[in-house]
Amino acid sequence: MDSFLFLLLFLGTPTLYLAYGALQSRLKARKYRMPPRVPGIPVFGNTFQVPLVQQGPWGKELAEKYGEMFTCSFGGNTWVFLNSSRVVNDLLERRAAIYCSRPPFPMTQSIMSGDSRIVLMPYNDRWRAVRKIMHNILAGRSQDTFKPYQNLESRHLLYDYLHHPDKWYIANGRFSNSVIMSVVFGTRTDLDSEQTRELFETIELFLENQQPGVNIVDGFNILDKLPKHLQWWRPRGEKIFQKTRKVYKRELDAVHARIKAGTQKPCFAVDFLKQQEGETKFSETQQLFLLGTLMEAGSDTSRVSLGQIIAGAATYPDWPAKARAQLDAICGVNAERLPAWDDRDALPYVTAVVKEGFRWRPNIAEIGAPTSLIRDDEYEGYRFPAGTIFTWNAWAIALSEKEYEQPERFLPERFMDEHLNNALKGHWAFGPGRRVCVGWKVGEMNVWIAIARLLYCFEFEEDKDHPIDTMTIPQITKNAAPFAVKVKVRSEKHAALIERDCLEAVNTRY
């Protein structure tokens, strides 16, 4: 009998909480007018319709059916999908001041991130403080800080491609990670580094858990009020938190050890730790997540973007030929020298390639990132309650014929216009409004120097036995390459240039 009562309590209490939460949001919705609703089931709404990974095609199909906006409910949360640049501009850009908070994420933010991951923070003083610190290191004069490291690490990248073409994807990860590690921790990363592998594992754990529908409590926030011992997701979340913390702390401990040994290079972490000795210091967890987020966000995004452009080169070989003609005109048909930062103005087509890479198949956030509305608002006859979640439907917009001609094609020419040098204009890869990616400049520069040099020295061919389905390239791959591609150096002369110019970059140690 006791165990029957326990079972009743164990299953019954969450069900009551769920039904109460769903009823509350239904009653609230009556006072407002929302865009067309995608039909769902009672209580759970559309929770079980959204795929757990690769939601882009799902979001695109619904956008084609419902038009510029549609409404879904994931558990107790109401989401409005914005499916055109027009409405994203109107709401998330022009009204950014009220469309810029984040909904609660009891699992991924509170438990897995100790409430300390900037990307999930509500719009409050802590977000402002963390964002300001990140902005100072990533924007403004960041170009001057990052350029020498991007130069060094991209030469290491070419050497890796020449000697380990089968490890091209790991080499992209090492490159992106090593740039940010150099600036933040004053240290570099090796190709087969166990630490980098573990870091990418924690990033993927976060991304996997962040997908709508994966964690019931992130959809039904009311379940967070259950007594902790009834929260069956909590032990798993706490385990991920401990693992993530360990991965971040290892880097900080290494900085302390190097400081003690007198071998630490000047870097952001050293300055940050000194600042933190003052009165308004963050908790240790917040310090770790600030530094850790820089590592994570700085590594994965550039790695994935580089992969997308390589997939575009292998499947649409016409544009790499044009890019190479421009590169050859500057650096010589006989591989005289590598393209460099000073060549940027003379290589507009490469800049367009990078922008097209960001647009072509949206990176990381296939259905955008959720932003919550701070107060009630009205728009074109609709009335939205505070707390409604909005997202730019990234895949649907990027692949819409109403937005782009032949959207499925990799076509750098579409960006050869007066906005070419504005990396944020013409696509939403870095997100809109106040939550726009704080590292966009560093990300764009990473991809630019790496792609200019890779295109100059290598060719990328589709493996006919394993064709690339560019609509389903996975972004969570457990460190494996997301597709097969043949990497070939362009000529003996290009190979010699890499040997001559890049070995030193591999051997540089700090």
Q: Does residue 438 bind ligand HEM (CB under 6 A)?
A: yes
Instruction: State which of residues 373, 396, 442, 489 lies at the interface with ligand HEM (CB under 6 A).
Output: 442
CA 55, chain centre distance (Å): 15
Instruction: State which of residues 80, 180, 240, 502 lies at the interface with ligand HEM (CB under 6 A).
Output: 180
Q: Does residue 397 bind ligand HEM (CB under 6 A)?
A: no
Q: Which C-beta is closer to ligand HEM: that of 131 or that of 147?
A: 131
Instruction: Compute how many other C-beta atoms are within 10 angstroms of the C-beta atom of residue 177.
Output: 25
| DSSP string for 294-361 | HHHHHHHHHHHHHHHHHHHHHH-THHHHHHHHHHHHHHTTTT-S---GGGGGG-HHHHHHHHHHHHHS
> Least distance in Å: CB of 248 to ligand HEM?
14
- Which one of 52-60, 68-76, 107-115, 441-449 is the stretch in contact with ligand HEM (CB under 6 A)? 441-449
Instruction: State which of residues 294, 367, 487, 502 lies at the interface with ligand HEM (CB under 6 A).
Output: 294
In the chain the first and final C-alpha atoms are separated, in Å, by 66
Contact 215/107 with Cβ under 8 angstroms?
yes
- Which one of 242-250, 294-302, 320-328, 381-389 is the stretch in contact with ligand HEM (CB under 6 A)? 294-302
Q: What strand order describes the sheet that includes 371-372? A: 69-74, 77-82, 389-392, 371-372
Between CA 153 and CA 293 the distance in angstroms is: 20
Contact 83/69 with Cβ under 8 angstroms?
yes
> Least distance in Å: CB of 214 to ligand HEM?
18
How many residues bind ligand HEM (CB under 6 A)? The answer is: 30
Contact 323/349 with Cβ under 8 angstroms?
yes
Q: Does residue 437 bind ligand HEM (CB under 6 A)?
A: yes
Q: Does residue 298 bind ligand HEM (CB under 6 A)?
A: yes
> Is 72 within any annotated ligand binding site?
no
The β-bridge partners of 132 are none
Residues 301-330 that bind ligand HEM (CB under 6 A): 301-302, 305
Stated as kind and residue range, the H or E segment containing 70 is: strand 69-74
- Which one of 22-30, 278-286, 356-364, 396-404 is the stretch in contact with ligand HEM (CB under 6 A)? 356-364
Q: Does residue 118 bind ligand HEM (CB under 6 A)?
A: yes
Residue least distant from ligand HEM (Cβ) = 439
Q: Does residue 429 bind ligand HEM (CB under 6 A)?
A: yes
- Which one of 327-335, 348-356, 364-372, 455-463 is the stretch in contact with ligand HEM (CB under 6 A)? 364-372
Instruction: State which of residues 72, 107, 111, 138 lies at the interface with ligand HEM (CB under 6 A).
Output: 138
Stated as kind and residue range, the H or E segment containing 258 is: helix 234-261
CA 287, chain centre distance (Å): 21
- Tracing tokens 């438990």 back to the chain, one arrives at 111
Q: Does residue 427 bind ligand HEM (CB under 6 A)?
A: no
Binding site for ligand HEM (CB under 6 A): 118-119, 131, 134, 138, 180, 293-294, 297-298, 301-302, 305, 358, 363-365, 369, 429-432, 435-439, 442-443, 447
Which residues make up each annotated binding site for heme?
437
